[in-house]
């Protein structure tokens, strides 16, 4: 008898995979750090709670990201959970570019010194605990050292290939 869980190879393409998983709404978060006195960051849609005791979070970053290696080098990051009115912020951080922080309101976290995006719903300041290879991404686990809720409003959500606010 064959093992039904034995890998047999995908019977679908990346377009079908993306379409199916696109039906799962995800929150949008900016991951940021300071490297050599300059802020660096990226937008992720895979930020999640890992553990309550000890408090840990995780996110995934594409191996092709030019920003994540800079964050990884610092060993710390601040996750800014974006609000429904911050789509433009996410678009800037989802792109490749030199100074993603130009014209953006932010301040340094008191714990790690990592950038905290102004008007985000919440900030979660972390130390990188581990980075695990996962296909074309890396899975990053962070130990939470501080957090703060800034405002109570609707989050920015990515669903079926586009940005949405739960209130819209």
Say yes or no to pLDDT of 98 above 80.
no
- Output 76 or 1, whichever has higher pLDDT: 76
With CA atoms as reference, report the closest residue to 27 among 124, 122, 155, 160.
155
Give the pLDDT score at 1. Answer: 47
- SS3 track for the chain: CCCCCCCCCCCCCHHHHHHHHCCCCEECEEEEEEECCEEEEEEECCCEEEEECCEEEEEEEECCCCCHHHHHHHCEEEEEECECCCHHHHHHHHCCCCCCCCCCCEEECCCCCCEEECCCCEEEEEEEEEEEEECCEEEEEEEEEEEEECCCCCEEEEECCEEEECCC
The whole-number average pLDDT for the span 115-130 is 97
The listed range with the strongest mean pLDDT (86-95, 116-125, 154-163) is 116-125
Give the pLDDT score at 159. Answer: 81
Chain segment 23-33, per-residue pLDDT in tens = 777 889 999 99
The whole-number average pLDDT for the span 128-137 is 95
With CA atoms as reference, report the closest residue to 86 among 72, 106, 68.
106
User: pLDDT-based confidence at 96, cuts 50/70/90?
Assistant: confident
Q: Are 36 and 43 in contact (CB under 8 A)?
A: no
The pTM of this model reads 0.88
């Amino acid at each position: 008898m064959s093992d039904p869980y034995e890998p047999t190879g995908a019977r679908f393409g990346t377009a079908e995979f993306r379409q199916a998983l696109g039906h799962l709404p995800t929150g949008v978060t900016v991951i940021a750090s300071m490297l050599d006195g300059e802020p660096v960051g990226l937008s992720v849609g895979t930020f999640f709670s890992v553990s309550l005791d000890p408090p840990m979070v995780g996110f995934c970053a594409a191996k092709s990201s030019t920003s994540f290696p800079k964050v990884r080098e610092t060993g710390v990051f601040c996750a800014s959970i974006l609000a429904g009115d911050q789509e433009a912020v996410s678009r800037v951080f989802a792109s490749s570019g030199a100074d993603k922080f130009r014209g953006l309101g932010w301040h340094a976290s008191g714990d790690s010194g990592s950038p905290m995006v102004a008007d985000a719903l919440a900030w979660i300041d972390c130390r990188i605990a581990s980075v695990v290879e996962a296909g074309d991404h890396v899975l990053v686990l962070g130990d939470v050292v501080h957090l703060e809720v800034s405002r109570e409003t609707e989050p920015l959500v990515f669903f079926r290939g586009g940005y949405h606010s739960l209130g819209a």
